[in-house]
Each structure stands twice: as structure tokens, then as C-alpha cells.
Amino acid sequence: MRILFAAMFLCATPALAQPLCTEPQLPAPVDGAHVSPDQLRAAVTAAKGYIAQSEIYQSCLLDELDAARTQAGAQGHALNPLLESDMRLRLASNQRTREKVGTEINTAIDVYKKTHLK
């Protein structure tokens, strides 16, 4: 809880020039036809971990955007539209990647079942 509060505080701190939100690392792709059960389980765990971290990343981006909006309002000007556009693009890109990771792991599971569980 302390870490989350600290992260939220830092996201809202206007003095920071660098964004705090770090996109999670993509899990390695897996070929369901050529994996062991342990490798498939590890790939599923990695995909679930990525998706969970991706949710945190997206929440962080939204918090960062809200903080920038609040800061701009407090300074008496509108939010830079390029900043908002950049955040929206990052959110959309990450969402597409999340969906791709989910689809890829589900496909690997299906291929594994068809290949190994005949």
C-alpha cells in the first residue's frame, strides 16, 4: 500500500519531467506445438503477469494524465493537447498489445491441446 501511495504521489508531482509509468516487458512467444507442459505453464504465467502489469501501467498513465490536467488547471491554462494525445496513443497501443498477448497464449494452449492431447 505504501508503494502504491508513493507511486501515486510521484505521478502527481509537477516537478518530475520523466514519466513514472513504465510499460511492462512482453513475454516471450511460445509455440504450442513444440512446448513441454512446464514450458506452457510458464508461458501462461508470464502472459497473465504481463496482462496484470499492463493494467497497472494503464492506470498509471491515466493517473499521470489526470495529474497533468490538474496541474495545468492550477496554473490557469489548458492541458497541452499533444500530451493528452500521446497518452491516449500509449494507452491504445498497450491495450492492443495486451489483447495480442492474450490471443497468442490462448492460441498456444489450443495448439498444444490439439498436438499433444490426441
pLDDT in tens, 14-50: 444 456 899 999 999 999 999 999 999 999 999 999 9
Question: What is the arithmetic mean of pLDDT over 54-76?
Answer: 96
Percent of the chain with pLDDT over 90: 81
Q: What integer pLDDT is reported at residue 32 of this predicted model? A: 96
User: Is pLDDT at 99 greater than 50 in this prediction?
Assistant: yes
Chain-centroid distance, C-alpha 99? 11
Distance CA 38, CA 31 (A): 13
**Rounded (to 5) percent helix, strand, coil in the chain:** 75, 0, 25
Question: What is the arithmetic mean of pLDDT over 76-87?
Answer: 94
Distance CA 98, CA 49 (A): 11
Q: What integer pLDDT is reported at residue 18 of this predicted model? A: 58
User: Is pLDDT at 13 greater than 60 in this prediction?
Assistant: no
Distance CA 67, CA 35 (A): 45
Q: Count of CB atoms within 10 A of residue 56's CB?
A: 14
10-to-3, 14, 81 alpha-carbon distances in Å: 10, 8, 22
Nearest to 54 by CA among 25, 34, 77: 25
Q: What integer pLDDT is reported at residue 55 of this predicted model? A: 97
